[in-house]
Each structure stands twice: as structure tokens, then as C-alpha cells.
């Protein structure tokens, strides 16, 4: 079972949400487009779609799909100028069965909750790890090193995937086991109210915010 929730930083402009998440069968990908770049939400979507279809990250191939999706239609001068520069996004790809395999570039994170405790945090394990200039996947140029990890899953494990604002909050408040609040969310309305409350209290950065909750079908041995 997979639940996916997202809330844009500007709730009056949901079309400007630059987060993307795609899930199919036992794969899920999450990406967060850089807000200052052109068509970064579309780039995030391309990275996620490609991973779910192939199980891997191939930025060169994804960039071809991104450029095709933009099309050849005339663009405003400011967008045409931006497109001369790379567009960037964080990337997190997950595949699960008897074990979870995760690969990442940037600050979108995966967490595994086991018996109400944090069994895995990847690629960041501390709130202090979040930086103002994380590694990101570009549409052109040098691609940062892809980080990988695996974890044997146990019955009852739950996987959480989150973009940077929510991931940073979760790690900052890990002593209070905040994942229990996330696991209690049932629908998009619950998620919106939860995120709005954290933003109002200045406990969560004002950013596009996306969460995926995965309950793997892990059998007892």
C-alpha cells in the first residue's frame, strides 16, 4: 500500500508545485525541482517516471524526454534564457521486496520506521546535514555521485519518503518520534492541515512539501 500527499508552498498555485512523485508496483521515486530553474517540476517528473519504468537513474535519457515535453513552441525571453542553463532536481529512488534498495542525489530522504523507532534515515541522518546548496541532478553537465544503501525489511516496517522541508523537520524532532504523526494521516486534507500548522508555527520551511508512506508486503519468515 502506498499513500502519497503533497502540498505546494503557495496553496493558491498548485500548478507551481515543483515536487514530483511516481509509484508503481514495488518502485517509487521522489524528486524536488529547484525553484529558481526553468521547468524544474517537469524535470523532477521525468526523473521519477524514468526510474519507475527502468529501475535506474539515467539523466541523459531523462533530459531528452524533458526537452521533448517542453516542445519547440516559442517561449518568453526569460524562459528561453533560463533554458540555456541546466535545470536541477533532487532525486530519490526506492525499490522494495525482501529488502529496501535506495539511491539518492540531494536532500529528498527515505526513512524506515520499525517498532515505532527509526531504523534507517538516508541519505541524510541529521537535521544538520541539510545544506543551502545540496547536490542535485542537472539536465546537462556533471552529475553528482549517486548514493546507495540497502536494508533488509522486517514485517511491520513502514517506509516514509519526503522532500527536504518535511525530511529536515522529521530529523530535527526525531527525539519526539514525529513519524507517528505522519503515519496517522489518512487523506490529503489531514496532510494539508498538518503541514499548515507546522508552517504557521515556523517549525517547517515554506516549501513544496511531499510525503509518501509505503507499507511493504513483507511476509513473516
Residue 20 cell numbers, joined: 514530483
Superfamily name with CATH number, domain 2-214: PPM-type phosphatase domain (3.60.40.10)
- Domain definitions of the chain by residue range: 2-214
pTM recorded for the entire structure = 0.92
Q: Which residues of 60-95 are buried (b: 16+ CB within 10 A; e: fewer)?
A: eebbebbbeebeeeeeeeeeeebbeebbbbbbbbbb
Count how many Cα atoms sit within 13 Å of the Cα of residue 130 in the half-sphere of its side chain. 18
Q: What is the pLDDT along the chain (221 residues), one digit of tens a residue?
A: 899 999 999 988 888 899 999 999 999 999 999 988 989 999 999 999 999 999 999 999 999 999 988 886 677 877 777 788 899 999 999 999 999 999 999 999 999 999 999 999 999 999 999 877 899 999 999 999 999 999 999 999 999 999 999 999 999 999 999 999 999 999 999 999 999 999 999 999 999 999 999 998 755 54
* 182 secondary structure, DSSP code: H
What lies within 8 Å, CB to CB, of 56 at 6+ separation is 50, 93
Amino acid at each position: 500500500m502506498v499513500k502519497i500527499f503533497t502540498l505546494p508552498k503557495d496553496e493558491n498555485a498548485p500548478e507551481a508545485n515543483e515536487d514530483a512523485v511516481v509509484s508503481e508496483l514495488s518502485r517509487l521515486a521522489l524528486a524536488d525541482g529547484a525553484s529558481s530553474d526553468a521547468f524544474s517540476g517537469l524535470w523532477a517528473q521525468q526523473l521519477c517516471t524514468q526510474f519507475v519504468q527502468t529501475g535506474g537513474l539515467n539523466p541523459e535519457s531523462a533530459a531528452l524526454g524533458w526537452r521533448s515535453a517542453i516542445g519547440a513552441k516559442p517561449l518568453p525571453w526569460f524562459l528561453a534564457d533560463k533554458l540555456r542553463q541546466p535545470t536541477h532536481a533532487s532525486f530519490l529512488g526506492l525499490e522494495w521486496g525482501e529488502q529496501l534498495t535506495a539511491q539518492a542525489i540531494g536532500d529528498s530522504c527515505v526513512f524506515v520506521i520499525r517498532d515505532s523507532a527509526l531504523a534507517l534515515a538516508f541519505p541524510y541522518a541529521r537535521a544538520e546535514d541539510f545544506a543551502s546548496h545540496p547536490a542535485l541532478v542537472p539536465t546537462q553537465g556533471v552529475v553528482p555521485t549517486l548514493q546507495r544503501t540497502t536494508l533488509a525489511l522486517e514485517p511491520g516496517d513502514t517506509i516514509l519518503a519526503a522532500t527536504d522541508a518535511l525530511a529536515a523537520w522529521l530529523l530535527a524532532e526525531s527525539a519526539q518520534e514525529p513519524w507517528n504523526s505522519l503515519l496517522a494521516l489518512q487523506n490529503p486534507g489531514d496532510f494539508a492541515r498538518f503541514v499548515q500548522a507546522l508552517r504557521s508555527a515556523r517549525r517547517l520551511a515554506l516549501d513544496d512539501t511531499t510525503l509518501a508512506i509505503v507499507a511493504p508486503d513483507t511476509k513473516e519468515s
